[in-house]
A and B are shown apart, each in its own frame.
Chain A
């Protein structure tokens, strides 16, 4: 019998499966097609500002993504170099095929059993998950991880055209999605966009500004087993006024933009339409032309995600310097997909109402490989904990971006695709891409989820902190730079500590707390914060309401 079954072998699923296996669980990883594992569905890059931080943290726990990225890297750049080290974001462009191969190798070495087939339903018994029903078989298990991404009936939009299907003609798992809806895991729909893919042979590289790889050697993973590949050049170009005019003339023909969120609006802009509208004063938006592989002519123009009609896309591409004769191989499109309200999950990513079921990845409303992978790690570690009666592994927003993400998702829910940004971390100065091992090394070791090699690597790195050369290292210097600010934050921390110590009993009936509006009650009920500190982060909860909550909780506890 399997301890953990993982449904879906995308970025989240692979991390979840291997993480559970590292804790000693017998893991089965379900996928429609063997070749799907490690598939990068759109942007061929890993990392960035915020995202890169996630990959480094994942790497401390022996995750796959950093190592696979290093093996498949064709271009490297540390973003935000000219700004403070806290926001340096390592970013790697990967050769798609090589990345998939790398993930495949790592999976092979992990002991995870790949099961090709379709999961039809979850098998439930007395309110717990006890197995998965497949078309051919019924597989009992102790924990299930659902990392199915966009399986819940995605649709693609190009201008006025609507194409059914998730990622390029994948069958959608209908019975399972119906069951998820029946269980009442409160779904919604989100949209995100991709840019058109260009034929690199039709791009005028000569007139464009080069962007070479960083000459300094750095890697995504702390484990030095990377294979250095010939580095490719990327190029930079920009949109022009003409581009903006074309876009403005066609605002109403973009489903991504036309369906923009009312009121506050999305805080970041997935599409070029959004950028042109919201930052109207900017004369040009930067575009990075990224080759997709060493022997692949496809180019990914990063910065012009769009869902405008095909002919408009052609016009706008041609208005960009260097792309005057560029051919579009695949038009950009918007993807609309269903997701599960992550407020149903507790901070170990387990569904509160269904012990044994863990959700991770895009299904929780996030966007991006890195976000998915980091959730996969958390879900896998805790699915193993549930199956084998081990300690849960929790991430705290004060010590990791993974913690920030999980806290945000489970307390605030999602109203737009959740993408990691350093702005989300109030402890940004302490959460750097260069100090992930220092922050999380001990935690990873305690969770007993790392290989022997990784264990040695972590111990060495931690020991370095005591060495005389420490202050001269990159991390040492950054620590010194931020030390006074971090010290000041310590004092704020203490205030938060006290508020974190006010536990909100699970039995508290929010509807009975006076002074809370209906909307606040709904949000609190959905998010079920565990402490007063968490409650203060739920959107719309006013200070006055917080005090009412504080008193109600204190009374319940005292009673």
Chain B
């Protein structure tokens, strides 16, 4: 009976950090808070307290303590937050002390947000936004996630639904009330078409995935073109920060990094050539697939071997050797001297920016885009319907697509997928 259990976890500020926040949520939260801090402040007021071990009385830390009363907390339950000094020893001691309290147990990954969702504090799109927010590594990611978590998408969907309702009302009136056997009022299909176009425009916008998972930049070319050296040179650049994105499988060389605030996953590939060696052939095939899936392609071969990719940066590698002509449109780069690397990164950055959502814009994720797409198709059907009944049906299907978007229907489908993304303590 999970519901009765009170959970706790380090919620942010993994040591060493300036401040580490430990959250407690559940029916015993206040009792636990009192056990460790003696006295809790008023609801939503911060106060300094000495944290002491409930049994031994040993002083653990001077901390700032906050208290929240259900349902006015982020989880909807009684909650306590301990803002401790972020030293490893302190945090370990506080966590250990809480473990010993009756009725408390460590939170599972994503459990706090799950409770917020279960207690009706946030809806599905907001929960998705929160998931993104927690995983945000870069500023751009944070802003996009925040827009979502703050209900930005929910508001847009609400606006669309309002319009749909208006159109549906018009169609239904024609069916149930117009005894005149008249033809469809042309304003209706037109409005359907307009709304469909607006949805399509949203679908054209960059999705959240490149921002959230990193823009996929792939380096490809024939063998010995200097791909690996180039990666090393790039990684050594000042403006490039190698980050650590947990959970990604790296069975090929993939470097996650932040390029001027944009998350990028730089991938090396096998040299492209004809081969009878089986293992190498697998690598070449994989390289082909990676190139197809790339958001940006850095191509180190001759132009005539170039792939048909919308965002290619052609590189003339090893330009310090001066052993061949620099082809027009190619960027001369030397991993040895560092020449051209800066210009290369600038070019890559330009492309990457077109692939990620604009700042402060609300970006759709794969799931959401799917439903918006369904709605757009239904509205296009409605716009071309020659019978008001089929027009009304198109509108109805669009409304249902939005219902699934917000989680009003098809809940089971989304819950597990959503909460598997959460990490501990959030």
Contacts and interface: CB of A to CB of B under 8 A. Distances in A.
Interface string A467-507: 00000000000000000010010001001101100100000
Interface stretch (B141-149, B252-260, B288-296, B409-417): B409-417
A288 B408 contact: no
B1 interface: yes
Contact of B181 (A80, A488, A532): A80
Given A499-B412, A543-B124, A547-B407, A485 B390 contact: yes
A407 to B, nearest CB: 16
A87 B390 CA distance: 11
B311 interface: no
Interface stretch (A336-344, A371-379, A421-429): A421-429
A78 to B, nearest CB: 10
A516 B120 CA distance: 7
Contact of B176 (A84, A421, A495, A532): A421
Interface stretch (B13-21, B198-206, B313-321, B392-400): B392-400
B25 to A, nearest CB: 12
A168 interface: no
Given A286-B179, A428-B393, A84 B387 contact: yes
Contacts of B302: none
Given A495-B404, A555-B3, A532 B389 contact: no
Contact of B408 (A80, A502, A543, A552): A543
Contacts of A548: 118-120
A526 interface: no
A369 to B, nearest CB: 17
Contacts of A550: 411
Given A288-B179, A499-B411, A514-B77, A547 B124 contact: yes
The B contact surface, by secondary structure, is helix
A50 interface: yes
A544 interface: yes
A515 B124 contact: no
Given A515-B71, A544-B123, A268 B177 contact: yes
Interface residues of B, number: 46
Interface residues of A, number: 44
B122 interface: yes
Contact of B397 (A49, A488, A536, A552): A488
A286 B175 contact: no
Interface string A402-432: 0000000000000000000111001011000
A480 to B, nearest CB: 14
B181 A82 contact: yes
B396 A426 contact: yes
Contacts of B181: 80-83
Contacts of B277: none
Interface of B: 1-3, 70-71, 76-77, 117-124, 168, 172, 174-177, 179-183, 387-390, 392-393, 396-397, 400, 403-404, 406-413, 415
Given A495-B410, A536-B408, A559-B1, 5 more contacts: A421-B172, A426-B396, A429-B389, A543-B123, A544-B121
9 contacts: A50-B176, A79-B179, A87-B176, A495-B404, A514-B76, A515-B119, A532-B411, A544-B121, A555-B2
